[in-house]
Amino acid sequence: MRVGFGYDVHRMVEGRRLILGGVEIENPRGPEGHSDADLLCHAVAEALLGAAALGNIGTRFPDSDPALKNISSILLLTRVKSLLDNEGYQVVNVDSTVNIETPRISTHIPEMRGKIASALGVEAGRISVKATSGEAMGFIGRGEGAAAYAVALIERGKTGS
């Protein structure tokens, strides 16, 4: 069994869609980024790649690649799952937290869990998504940015290398 930690942060800007865990949430501002900037999926991907010692999303999916412009981060998670499969790893569970001041996202968490689970080929019960705010402190509390954290546990499969 192996554990990985992931973190992602993005500046919030006007006119960008807010997508978290593959779910579009109505909001006038969203995270700036090359892909769809789904910081929750990015943190989960970082945790999984880290657990398997497979680098990070910046090296695996560089923002210099025009083919990745506005790509769905859920699709990137399916690619991370393929990388894990190739190494013989299975996802045991993921625990994640989104830190965003507004909007409140708790009603969207069940759908986020389902989309992440589907991308990773596991049941939703293995995926935890929590939300918190910046309590009006710091860059998150001022609404300038948002962050996500994730911890993932993977294990080598019985038929893996």
| The model's pTM | 0.94
Cis peptide preceding 62, ω within 30 of 0: no
- Give residue 9's pLDDT: 97
How far is the C-alpha of 107 from the C-alpha of 50, rounded, in Å? Answer: 29
- Give residue 160's pLDDT: 40
How far is the C-alpha of 7 from the C-alpha of 52, rounded, in Å? Answer: 16
Residue 40 dihedral angles phi and psi, to the nearest 5°: -70, -50
- Give residue 158's pLDDT: 58
Q: Domain limits of the chain? A: 2-156
- Give residue 70's pLDDT: 86
pLDDT of the chain, 161 residues: tens digit per residue: 999 999 999 999 999 999 999 999 999 999 999 899 999 999 999 999 999 999 999 999 988 888 889 899 999 999 999 999 999 999 999 999 999 999 999 999 999 999 999 999 999 999 999 999 999 999 999 999 999 999 999 999 754 43
Q: Does domain 2-156 have CATH number 3.30.1330.50?
A: yes
Helix H segments across the chain? 39-51, 57-60, 73-86, 109-120, 138-141
- Give residue 142's pLDDT: 95
